[in-house]
Amino acid sequence: MIEKVKAQIEKLQVELIELSKYILENPELGYEETKACRAHIDILKKYGFIVGEEYMGIKTAFRAEVVSDKKGPTIAYLSEYDALPGIGHGCGHNILGATSTGAGIILSKFIEKIGGKVVVIGTPAEETSGAKVEMAKNGAFNDVDIVMVAHPADKHFKSGNSLAMQAIQFDFKGKPAHAAMCPEKGINALDAAINTFNNINSLREHFQIDAKVHGIITDGGKAANIVPDFATAQFYVRAATKTYLEELVEKVKNCARGASLAAGTQLEISHYEASFENLVTNQHLLMKYCEKLKDMGVEKIFEARESYGSLDAGNVSHVCPTIHPYFSISDKPLIAHTKEFAEATNKPLAYEGMKNAIGALVLTAIDVIEDRSFLHAIHEEFIVVEK
């Protein structure tokens, strides 16, 4: 099987490199990825996929499918293609998208015989609000058995964890007054915001080790001689599990409530961005992927990196067994979200890494389709694992 998969990758590689290069040269921000989305749709259609455009009402999303006449599990690959402001494809989503779409096309060539269904979902705006959050919530993965997405990096890393995250906004409403002539008439909303930070900082010592809380004041008054009648603070609150995150968010909210009470302001609490859930890696699926990556000739796969960031793939992993490993695009250390990273995605070593990742993604899917007891083990783990 591996030789057949490798032969298909060789045949397709020129088009995949073109796709990745085109997106690299035309970077588009989240939810504006019209060119990238179109390029993915065009190649998927060319290879016989039935494509639903503007998937779930999102303009730059799509869902492409090929179904076998023979029944079997549904495998989903997720394509990302958004860029960063000023940096372009510093996260390498150009080559990420080409890898997922390439894996989908190649798997589709085998499913007629082995059965099942292959789905490629175009998931915009990973760097900002993350379309996968809404997609997971609205049932995009309800009919999917496994989800795989491989991200570029400087080394091959196993799929690990990411932190669950909530983006909390506090709006404090006070009362204006001349700050020198009649400060006693005013209610200082900025004080409430500042004391929210102080309260959080004194609580910080008692956070669980993985928890992160960081914030800014986005509105702190209009002029120094007016008692600020309005202040806004935004925080990212992160934790290793969804369960602890909920506990921590409540504590952070109490910090704001206490500060607001002390200052005499009115407080409104909201989310200013979508909440991300922690990534839960399916270990059965990951072990298989690593085994296949070695079969493709990759010698060293590093343990998952300690991740203190958050991914929208986390939300997917709460509704469907998921892996989010990293594949090597360079033999030198690379820092994500830099121009150097973007440049590295267009080097021979990057395309070597892409081909290896595609091979592992396809071969893993073939095992999932052909070995029912393996799929069963993946699902069992998904049900029992702590999220």
Residues forming the site for Zn ion (CB under 5 A): 91
Rounded to a whole number of angstroms, the minimum distance from the CB of residue 92 to Zn ion is 7
The CA distances from residue 376 to 77, 141, 367, 383, in Å, are: 20, 17, 12, 11
Rounded to a whole number of angstroms, the minimum distance from the CB of residue 40 to Zn ion is 16
Question: What CA–CA distance (Å, rounded) separates 169 from 166?
Answer: 10
Q: Which residue is nearest to Zn ion (CB)?
A: 91
Rounded to a whole number of angstroms, the minimum distance from the CB of residue 274 to Zn ion is 16
The CA distances from residue 209 to 42, 63, 67, in Å, are: 46, 39, 46
Q: Which is nearer to Zn ion, 162 or 196 (CB)?
A: 162
Q: Which is nearer to Zn ion, 76 or 91 (CB)?
A: 91
Q: Which is nearer to Zn ion, 44 or 311 (CB)?
A: 311
* Token digits of residue 268: 């409104």
CB 187 within 8 A of CB 229: yes
Question: What CA–CA distance (Å, rounded) separates 45 from 153?
Answer: 29
CB 95 within 8 A of CB 354: yes
Rounded to a whole number of angstroms, the minimum distance from the CB of residue 271 to Zn ion is 21
Q: Which is nearer to Zn ion, 91 or 111 (CB)?
A: 91
Rounded to a whole number of angstroms, the minimum distance from the CB of residue 53 to Zn ion is 24
Rounded to a whole number of angstroms, the minimum distance from the CB of residue 326 to Zn ion is 10
Q: Which is nearer to Zn ion, 91 or 363 (CB)?
A: 91
What is the crossing angle of helices 372-384 and 283-295, to 10°?
140
Q: For 105, phi and psi rounded to 5 degrees?
A: -60, -45
Give the strand pairing for 164-173 and 326-328.
unpaired
Q: Which is nearer to Zn ion, 31 or 374 (CB)?
A: 31
